[in-house]
Chains A and B, each alone.
Chain A
């Protein structure tokens, strides 16, 4: 019980954004991302984060883009704190980037932050010019188990049935 209390206090100290006054940034801000400790690092389990209000702008025309961003990952030692992720996503509001680059930027920032066992980022962007773009970026930590998982997910990705990915 004492351990649980100590752990709870430690975890509360780890995250700054959660529960404090919120400062919204309107520019790309990977520095706001925070982590907390995964207390089950020996287990493999999926964490899915679903962000249906993502917005950025087109780097050429400055027209707004909208998307649902889905992150599926298997945590190792660190896990991303969801409020800091929300603030990080808000930072894209004035960021001009192609959809494909955005997904890879998010993948890179999150893997650098958490060093997960496995991670994938899916972008379901709203149609522009009658075409919607759904890029997917993968990451594995180099262990054969997760390399195999990435290979399997890549080869079995159902491009026209994104519900299968949720």
Chain B
């Protein structure tokens, strides 16, 4: 993923309703991804991040690991731990399986603005 230089302390929120990956059984999992981060001077190119999300659709994860996986990838590319530190939070709302819905979070705690999902509705 290519990096972009941006001002420190810029807060960026991202949302994608198109997260797809495979569970341990091989069953596809669907979810909505929310990211909240405060920049320490870097962000990522959005087309590259889209490709990364798309690349997950043929990869196998335990459902409970998906937020950590995305967090680790983001940190690897834009994380800065010295001086002004990057803060990254990842929340994934998985669609229900067997009558149970899970929300998986990792990193900086935040409350996703789930109303944003409406822009993808009819």
Contacts and interface: CB of A to CB of B under 8 A. Distances in A.
Interface string B56-95: 0110000000000000000000000000000000000001
A28 interface: no
B95 A126 contact: no
Interface string B15-45: 0011010000111101000000000000000
A18 to B, nearest CB: 14
Contact of B25 (A22, A26, A55, A132): A22
A127 B30 CA distance: 17
A118 B30 CA distance: 31
A24 B26 contact: yes
A90 B122 contact: no
A66 B27 contact: no
Contact of A64 (B25, B26, B54): B54
Nearest to A127: B120
Interface residues of B, number: 14
Given A53-B28, A132-B122, 14 more contacts: A22-B26, A24-B25, A24-B26, A52-B95, A53-B95, A55-B30, A55-B57, A64-B54, A66-B18, A66-B20, A90-B27, A93-B28, A93-B57, A126-B17
Interface in A132-163: 132, 162
A90 B22 CA distance: 11
Q: Which 7 A-B pairs have the closest CB atoms?
A: A24-B26, A53-B30, A66-B18, A64-B54, A55-B20, A90-B28, A24-B27
A22 B122 contact: no
B15 to A, nearest CB: 13
B80 to A, nearest CB: 31
A162 to B, nearest CB: 6
A124 B17 contact: no
Contacts of A126: 17-18, 120
A22 B120 CA distance: 32
Contacts of A162: 122
Given A124-B122, A126-B17, A126-B18, A22 B27 contact: yes
A64 B18 contact: yes
Nearest to B30: A53
A44 to B, nearest CB: 29
Contact of B28 (A55, A63, A124, A127): A55
A22 B25 CA distance: 8
A49 to B, nearest CB: 16
